[in-house]
Structure 1
Amino acid sequence: MAVEIIKKVYRPSSLVGQVYARPYGSATAPMPIGNVLELALEHSEDVQKQDDMTALGGGTHAEKRRVKEVLVKMKLADLNVVNLARGVLGTAQAIEAGTVEDEPHTATLGGLLRLQHIQPTAVIVKKGADKATATPVTAAGNYEVRPEGIFMLPEAAGLAYADKLWASYSYGAYAAIEALTTNAIELELTFGGLNEADGGKPMVVEIWRASQGITKSLALINKDFGALDVEGTVLMDSTKTGVGISRYYKASMA
């Protein structure tokens, strides 16, 4: 019976589970965001105290407490396109596979030709004043094809500084994220928790409306696993009405 659940005292907690998100106000299904290493709600208060001046020794005559804010904090282990775009306030674009012919560059021995697209294949580099009369340059001893572009070998025999180059290549589909191009998104979050310390009993927490700010850092070279530390503010959801109905979040426990 539900009353027995409410009366239960033994309730140690060690939660794991899935976190789902969808844009606030959206009618689409909440989608899992991947492995979340840490998820927490942090409450802060504005506490005002009135001194007791009626007797020696001091003390508190009255106190007023109001919640200043509730923060939601997450450590995201999966740096997928959606999480990364939200974490850097970016916009994501799907780039379909294609080919490029005679992309212009200037040679710098020991330097990188940063191509317009990543992970090039079937690369042909030509040298000449214009693409119509340019002649192919062999890769061996002159350049290396890398995911980030074409690296000009310092000792390249068939190339010289400031040579005009023309690169043709193919590339596969990929995603591009332009950082700092949008406002912080507002999300509806659902945590489907399972209590490992209490027989796997479920605990579902629904956060009706929360902003998500930019990640504190984006580790690009790191000997440990990468993660995104993000946080936001739990905001009032004016669509939630009624006596005893929270406009911020709800926890349901079995």
Structure 2
Amino acid sequence: MAVEVLKKVFRPSMNVGKVYASAWGSPNHPAPIGNVLELTVEHTEDVQEQEDMTALGGGTHAEVRRVTKVKVSMKLADLNVVNLARATLASVSGIDSGTVTDEPFTVASLGCLLPLEHIAPTSITIKKGATAGAATPIDMAGNYEPGAAGIFLPSNAADIAVADKLWVSYSYGAYAAVEALTTKAPELRLLFEGLNEADSGKPTVVDIWRASQGVTKSLALIKKGFGSLDVEGSVLQDPTRTGAGISKYYRQRLS
């Protein structure tokens, strides 16, 4: 019965679980965001105190406490496109697979990378000549090395000189382009579907009705060990939540 749940005293906590998110105000249901290593709600208080001046020794005569801020923090282990976009205030474009014919390059120097318009090129053909129509193919061996970002020209390339005009044809697979700092901070509905390992796996479900998500503190591109995204945001009032005893901020449900 519910009264037994309300009176329960033994409830140590060690939660695991899944986090779901959707845009606040969207009709879409929350979707999983991947492995979340940490999820925390923090409260900040403003405490106003009035001294007791009626007797020796002092003390506090009256006190008023008001919550001034509720913060939500997450450490995201999955650097998927959605998490990256939200954490870097980015817009996202999905680029379909395709081919490029005769992407032009004027060789400035050897020992450098020629960045291509698309990533992870395959079926590469490089030609040398003043125009694409008059250009002749160059063998890869001893002349260039393909990579994820483009074509590397070694300083001792056998058949390429500094003044040569190069034309690169290649194929590429589908990928996502994440353009950082092009949008405003998202406002999300967050739902934590937790299981309490310290209490027989009993459920703990937390709804955070409306939260902003700020930009990630850092984006580690080279790092020893696993990467993660540390993000913070404010739990905001959701004006659509109404009724006596109904929180406009967040709700916990546990058994």
Q: Normalising TM by the smaller chain, what interval?
A: over 0.9
Distance 2:9 2:59 in 1: 34
- Secondary structure, counterpart of 1:3 in structure 2: helix
Higher mean displacement: 45-54 or 16-25: 45-54
Distance 1:121 1:238 in 2: 52
2:19 corresponds to 1:15: no
| 1:56, distance to aligned residue in structure 2 (A) | 2.0
Q: Which residue of 2 aligns with 1:76?
A: 76
- Secondary structure, counterpart of 1:89 in structure 2: coil
Q: Which residue of 2 aligns with 1:99?
A: 99
Q: Which residue of 2 aligns with 1:131?
A: 132
Distance 1:26 1:103 in 2: 42
Residues 106-121 of structure 1: matches in 2 within 5 Å?
Answer: 106-107=106-107, 108-121=109-122
- Secondary structure, counterpart of 2:85 in structure 1: helix
Distance 1:161 1:64 in 2: 75
| 1:162, distance to aligned residue in structure 2 (A) | 3.3
| 1:180, distance to aligned residue in structure 2 (A) | 0.3
| 1:156, distance to aligned residue in structure 2 (A) | 0.3
Q: Which residue of 2 aligns with 1:151?
A: 152
- Secondary structure, counterpart of 2:82 in structure 1: helix
Distance 1:41 1:29 in 2: 22
Q: Which residue of 2 aligns with 1:86?
A: 86
Q: Which residue of 1 aligns with 2:239?
A: 238
Q: Which residue of 2 aligns with 1:226?
A: 227
Q: Which residue of 2 aligns with 1:210?
A: 211
Q: Which residue of 2 aligns with 1:248?
A: 249
Distance 2:70 2:163 in 1: 58
TM-score by length of 2: 0.98
- Secondary structure, counterpart of 2:169 in structure 1: strand
Q: Which runs of 5+ in 2 are unaligned?
A: none
CA root-mean-square deviation:
0.7
Distance 1:84 1:3 in 2: 44
1:140-169 deviation line (CA, Å, top 9, x unaligned): 001001111100011101111132111110
Q: Which runs of 5+ in 1 are unaligned?
A: none
Q: Among the aligned pairs, what percent are the same residue?
A: 66
1:150-206 deviation line (CA, Å, top 9, x unaligned): 000111011111321111100000111000000000000000000000000000000
Aligned length: 254
TM-score by length of 1: 0.99
Residues 38-77 of structure 1: matches in 2 within 5 Å?
Answer: 38-77=38-77
Instruction: Give runs of ≥4 in structure 1 deviating > 3 Å.
Output: none
